């Protein structure tokens, strides 16, 4: 595998992450879950996936006929998988992971089929943007934001129903989690591991009073559990990314 082939794979993964988690709203996802194959949002979602993948392949010099065929494979299989998932119980970690695993497996298979000696990459003046290191860092930052937030919410769902969140800001926990994962990943990639300890301490201190005075104990434990899960996931991804950057 050469540098351009690796860059193409990372660019396709970036397209998938953007299309599935950033450019797809909760309204679209709920509509697909409710209306299945009849949901208009399903076809918009598949179209965004297909066209963004096609654009990446064309930019990297993939033969146009092969790129169009690959786009159709990605789009049709993505739509089929999403329709099948819409018939499964919502908000289940296992189905979420299975859904993403199938998407990524198909994407990897298509990438393996389209790579050949004709790949050219971006023009020279944009050379830095298609470097594997740049694409890898961008991909990991995207993953620790929205996709990680969804995964953590699904894992924490079994405890969230028993927690009284009255008096808290709507969606504040998810936004705080995104910001803390952004900071943790930045600290790991910049080799500032000590700063992560200060961040964890600061967040723990904010809940210490409630725990000490036995107020909202369930909420406190819920927040701390979510925090440790968020920190562990981001640290793992950050350290793995740092290792990959060292060998690329």
Instruction: Kindly give the confidence (pLDDT) of every residue in the chain, 248 residues in length, as a single tens digit, with 9 standing for 90 and above.
Output: 678 889 899 999 999 999 999 898 889 999 999 999 999 999 999 999 999 999 999 888 888 999 999 999 999 999 999 999 999 988 889 999 999 999 999 999 999 999 875 666 555 455 566 788 989 999 999 999 989 999 998 998 887 776 666 555 556 778 888 999 999 999 999 999 888 888 888 777 766 555 555 456 677 777 778 888 999 999 999 999 999 999 98
CA dihedral sign, ordered 117, 121, 124, 128: negative
Helix (H, G, I), strand (E, B) or coil at 215: coil
**At a CB cut-off of 8 Å and minimum separation 6, what does 31 contact?**
39, 40, 41, 42
């Amino acid at each position: 595998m050469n540098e351009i082939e690796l860059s193409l794979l990372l660019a396709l993964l970036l397209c998938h992450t953007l299309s599935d988690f950033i450019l797809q709203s909760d309204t679209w996802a709920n509509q697909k879950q409710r209306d299945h194959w009849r949901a208009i949002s399903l076809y918009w979602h598949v179209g965004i996936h297909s066209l963004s993948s096609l654009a990446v392949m064309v930019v990297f010099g993939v033969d146009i006929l092969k790129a169009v065929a690959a786009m159709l494979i990605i789009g049709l299989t993505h739509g089929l998988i999403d329709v099948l998932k819409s018939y499964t119980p919502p908000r289940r970690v296992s189905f979420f992971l299975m859904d993403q695993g199938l998407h990524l497996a198909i994407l990897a298979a298509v990438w393996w089929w389209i790579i050949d000696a004709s790949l050219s990459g971006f023009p020279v003046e944009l050379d830095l943007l298609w470097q594997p290191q740049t694409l890898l860092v961008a991909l990991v930052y995207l993953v620790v934001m929205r996709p990680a937030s969804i995964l953590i919410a699904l894992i924490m769902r079994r405890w969230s129903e028993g927690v009284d969140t009255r008096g808290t800001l709507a969606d504040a926990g998810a936004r705080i989690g995104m910001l803390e994962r952004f900071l943790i990943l930045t600290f790991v990639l910049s080799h500032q591991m000590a700063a992560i300890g200060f961040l964890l301490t600061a967040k723990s201190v904010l809940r210490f009073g409630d725990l000490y005075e036995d107020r909202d104990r369930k909420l406190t434990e819920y927040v701390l559990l979510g925090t440790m899960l968020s920190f562990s996931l981001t640290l793992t991804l950050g350290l793995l990314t740092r290792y990959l950057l060292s060998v690329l």
